[in-house]
């Protein structure tokens, strides 16, 4: 059986690895972005000179040949599902398949702004985006970034590393306020400004202006003001990259529609990762979740299903992590951007304004449902177990030292959080100080 995977990101690469683990089927991966799988989240560090491109390729080139995974560096122009063939851009002969996995990822959102096709306008998602930005950087003195989010902050850090002046336009009243609670959002506002970024909140783009050579020369804002610049970064989110299937028999909405086995409406066609849209998502989860770990889960799961080891897609407890300049960010479970009538949270912030802990719990049951951690590391497995088991707020606070990551080398703050909680609620919770790796392992093995 010949299995063809379109896309070699985390989803496609994981699918290929596990199909090989479970079978001797012929495997072909096709990508027009890069010859080899690479770590997309590490692209910024290549630009900043912290690492080399070959260092963000998790596998040596010989890995693919050794595991009999054929790689084709080409673009798929058309999917002919009736005849089970793929037409490529460079190859004369089409590629036939028995099973097809579509893992084409995302593309940068663009909203039809006048001037968005000018030279010097780009998102930051693909390898080609990084190459484009790198080649232009010697000509850039000032960059304007449209949108906040995680990609926007990465792009700002990249430019600052080369002494390029940055203005960031955020249409909301506070950075990433649709995701972060207000205190954490304000913390990042302050941190962005500390890094000499000109942060413009409640600001929207009207037009990107160019010169006679079609090069960017500035942006016009909705209030009529003008900011001169030589580059405009579009970081207004991403959308599923599904152009390939829009003229095929494969059903799609915002993404390619798949069932709980990640199968499309066609028997032998599957979709995974950013481009996939779950028809019936699990409660509390989105139908499209463009994050690394869900892509990895989908890749392994589709390999099982293709190799006659049927498994239903269960994304588990939501988590994500990122870095806002020096401030690390972790979220586990459910953390609303504003408190709901059914939930409350315990929140503590360090006096330096760069560290905080938020624990969200159900109001009626006091079961903990989420953690939002800024500037501090907590153990993923510990937080997830508390959420999964519906642990009470009191018990979580008492045992909070178990969540500390490497407490021998990093400062801990559970005592401060509990002291504040006791003052605010007139309770007398006492923290259990029996931390350490053995205590963590005993807890996880219960």
Rounded Cα gap, residues 266 and 250, in angstroms: 7
Which residues lie below 8 Å from residue 224, measured CB to CB, with a gap of 6+? none
Q: Which domain holds residue 340?
A: 319-444
Q: Is the same domain home to 219 and 126?
A: yes
Strands 238-240 and 142-146: unpaired
Q: How many residues does the chain have?
A: 446
For residue 276, which of 260, 267, 416, 176 has the smallest C-alpha distance? 260
Residue 401 lies in a domain: yes
Output the CA–CA distances (angstroms, integers) from residue 37 to 21, 24, 124, 300, 306, in the order listed: 18, 21, 17, 16, 21
Provide the token pair at 444.
């996880």
Among 9-18, 138-147, 152-161, 401-410, which is the least confidently predicted range? Answer: 401-410
Q: Is the same domain home to 135 and 215?
A: yes
Roughly what angle, to the nearest 10 degrees, separates helices 437-444 and 380-388?
30
Q: Is the same domain home to 55 and 135?
A: no
Q: Is the same domain home to 323 and 430?
A: yes
Query: Which of 178, 209, 236 is the last residue in one of the domains?
Result: 236
Q: Is the same domain home to 438 and 323?
A: yes
Q: Is the same domain home to 246 and 215?
A: no
Instruction: Give how many domains the chain has, as a whole number.
Output: 3
Residue 116 lies in a domain: no
pLDDT at 433 over 70: no
Say if residues 106 and 40 touch (Cβ distance below 8 Å): no
Residue 287 lies in a domain: yes
Say if residues 194 and 111 touch (Cβ distance below 8 Å): no
User: What is the band of 435 on the pLDDT scale with cuts at 50, 70, 90?
Assistant: low
CATH of the domain at 401: 3.30.390.30
Question: DSSP assignment of 351-393, as one string?
Answer: TTSS-EEEEEEETTT-BEEEEEEESS-B-HHHHHHHHHTT-BH
For residue 241, which of 109, 334, 337 has the smallest C-alpha distance? 109
Residue 114 lies in a domain: no
Residue 6 lies in a domain: yes
Which residues lie below 8 Å from residue 117, measured CB to CB, with a gap of 6+? none
Rounded Cα gap, residues 314 and 285, in angstroms: 10
Average pLDDT, the chain: 95
Q: Is the same domain home to 171 and 201?
A: yes
Q: Is the same domain home to 331 and 435?
A: yes
pLDDT digits (tens, 9 = 90+) for 260-281: 999 999 999 999 999 999 999 9
Residue 9 lies in a domain: yes
Residue 314 lies in a domain: no
Per-residue pLDDT averaged across 352-357, rounded?
Answer: 96
Residue 283 lies in a domain: yes
Q: Is the same domain home to 232 and 246?
A: no
Provide the token pair at 283.
């409660």
Which residues lie below 8 Å from residue 8, measured CB to CB, with a gap of 6+? 29, 30, 31, 33, 34, 36, 37, 71, 103
* Residue 19: per-residue pLDDT: 98
* Residue 155: per-residue pLDDT: 97
For residue 235, which of 162, 316, 299, 166 has the smallest C-alpha distance? 166
pLDDT at 103 over 70: yes
Provide the token pair at 60.
């040596």
Query: Rounded to 5 degrees, what are φ and ψ at 287?
Result: -70, -25
pLDDT at 434 over 70: no
Q: Is the same domain home to 209 and 126?
A: yes
Per-residue pLDDT averaged across 415-440, rounded?
Answer: 84
Rounded Cα gap, residues 87 and 79, in angstroms: 7
Rounded Cα gap, residues 373 and 50, in angstroms: 26
Q: Is the same domain home to 329 and 437?
A: yes
Rounded Cα gap, residues 419 and 437, in angstroms: 25
CATH of the domain at 32: 3.50.50.60
pLDDT digits (tens, 9 = 90+) for 204-215: 999 999 999 999
Q: Is the same domain home to 22 and 85?
A: yes
């Amino acid at each position: 059986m010949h299995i063809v995977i379109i896309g070699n990101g985390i989803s496609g690469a994981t699918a290929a690895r596990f199909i090989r683990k479970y079978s001797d089927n012929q495997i072909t991966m096709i990508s027009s972005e890069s010859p080899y799988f690479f770590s997309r989240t590490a692209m910024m560090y290549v630009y900043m000179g912290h690492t080399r491109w070959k260092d963000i390729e998790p596998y040596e080139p010989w890995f693919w040949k050794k595991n009999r995974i054929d790689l084709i560096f080409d673009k798929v122009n058309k999917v002919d599902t009736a005849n089970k063939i793929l037409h490529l851009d460079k190859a004369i002969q089409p590629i036939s398949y028995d099973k097809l996995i579509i893992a084409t990822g995302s593309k940068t959102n663009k909203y039809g702004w006048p001037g968005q096709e000018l030279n010097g306008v780009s998102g930051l998602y693909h390898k080609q985006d990084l190459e484009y930005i790198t080649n232009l950087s010697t000509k850039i003195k000032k960059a304007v970034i449209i949108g906040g989010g995680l990609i926007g902050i990465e792009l700002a850090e990249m430019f600052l590393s080369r002494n390029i002046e940055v203005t960031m336009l955020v249409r909301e009243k506070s950075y990433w306020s649709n995701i972060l609670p207000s205190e954490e959002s304000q913390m990042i506002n302050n941190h962005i400004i500390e890094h000499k970024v000109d942060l413009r909140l409640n600001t929207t783009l009207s037009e990107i202006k160019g010169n006679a050579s079609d090069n960017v020369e500035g942006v016009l804002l909705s209030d009529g003001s003008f900011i001169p610049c030589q580059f405009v970064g579009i970081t207004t989110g991403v959308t599923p990259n599904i152009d390939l299937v829009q003229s095929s028999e494969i059903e799609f909405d915002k993404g390619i529609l798949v069932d709980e086995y990640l199968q499309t409406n066609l028997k032998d066609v599957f979709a995974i990762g950013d481009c996939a849209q779950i028809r019936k998502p699990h409660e509390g989860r989105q139908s499209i979740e463009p994050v690394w770990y869900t892509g990895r889960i989908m890749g392994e799961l589709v390999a099982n299903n293709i190799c006659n080891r049927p498994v239903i897609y269960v994304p588990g407890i939501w988590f994500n992590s990122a870095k806002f300049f020096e401030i690390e960010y972790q979220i586990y479970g459910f953390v609303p951007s504003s408190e709901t009538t059914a939930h409350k949270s315990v929140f503590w912030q360090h006096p330096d304004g760069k560290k905080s802990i938020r624990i969200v719990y159900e109001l009626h049951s006091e079961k903990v449902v989420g953690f939002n951690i800024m500037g501090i590391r907590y153990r993923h497995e510990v937080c997830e177990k508390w959420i999964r088991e519906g642990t009470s707020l009191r018990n979580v606070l008492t045992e909070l030292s178990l969540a500390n990551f490497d407490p021998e080398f990093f400062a801990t703050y559970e005592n401060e959080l509990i002291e504040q909680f006791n003052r605010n609620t007139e309770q007398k919770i006492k923290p259990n100080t029996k931390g350490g790796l053995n205590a963590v392992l005993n807890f996880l093995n219960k």
